[in-house]
Amino acid sequence: MVLVANRYQIIQLGLCFFTSQSPDTYTAHPFNVYLFPEDRPGAAGDLSLSLDGMSFHRSQQVDFNKWIYQGVPYLNGRQEQILRSRIDEEFPREEQEVLSLTAEETKRTDVTLSGIKSWWQSGAREEYVIQNFNPYLRKYMYQQLGRLYPALNIECKSNGKYSKSLILTMLTAESQKCLKDAKTKKQLNVIQRKSGAQKVFKLLTRLRPVIVGHGVVSDLLFLYSSFQEDLPPSLHLFKEKLHCLFPAIYDTMTISADLNLKELLNAGRSLKSVYKLLSREGRMEGTRVDLGEQGKHWSKECYHEAGYDSYVTGSSWC
């Protein structure tokens, strides 16, 4: 299961919060959220799909368009730290690779750098424009200029469909600060957007609520890997770290086995079987669970939709 959690991504996140209105009355607030990760540092750039898994999701009418086009992005804690550590870097690491040039390219860039040096030393206020450089040479110049002239502002301007120029301007101390603040704000906004659903996980770790799931171990592996950090090397360490985040975790599948209900031996211990059996036997009698406004459309059965499953799981627990 660890390999699965490391390789595959969450498609739907189902959460249901239960508020107590009286000792025997609860209001359920279920949420179903599609998740779709953006590029994440330190994570594989591939999106892995299982044919069996996708066939199952298709049979359950999963909205793949909503998943891809409206899915909420997310990061885990380690990936967020990597992004934050890059805020103060003038040039991202991926732009610091050593670029090799041909003799002709070296001669051309040396001439350009010499011209820029003269322009810089003259203290000229007008822009310096570099034209007719291909993307590879523009990247090389971007690296060199960033290293040689930290107080230089470099912008790439399109001259048409296939042509771009590098526009160089000298910055005053005040302009440098304004530019750095603007870049920092932009990078923080990117982190905010990419964090997405991780914000909900962080809130849960602060609130430390009782966590109830059905066959919950696999869910917890996915949640920890997706929102907290890479999975620890051992089960013992995983459990130790997990219980620091959520001290109280219950599994209705395990509890149903302890109830020793004979019917479950034939029907299995699926969430649907457990919920229906508990309802039929009156074990939930006296407990009332009302659906909040946003969950009214789940008044009909929608098993295998994450939000509905979380509602049924919590109701079984109540």
The DSSP output letter for 300 is S
pLDDT at 281 over 70: no
pLDDT at 307 over 70: yes
Pairing type for strands 288-291 and 249-251 reads unpaired
H runs (alpha helix) in 123-159: 135-148
H runs (alpha helix) in 149-197: 173-195
**pLDDT tens digits, residue range 255-269?**
877 666 555 555 567
For the full predicted model, state whether its pTM sits above 0.85. no
CB atoms within 10 A of CB 230: 14
Across the chain, mean pLDDT equals: 84
**pLDDT tens digits, residue range 37-62?**
887 776 666 777 888 988 998 998 89
What is the C-alpha separation between 85 and 105, in angstroms, rounded?
34
pLDDT at 153 over 90: no
Query: Which tokens hold the place of 213?
Result: 């799931």
Query: Which tokens hold the place of 146?
Result: 């960033």
pLDDT for res 198: 95
Query: Which tokens hold the place of 10?
Result: 């969450």
Mean pLDDT of 280-288: 63
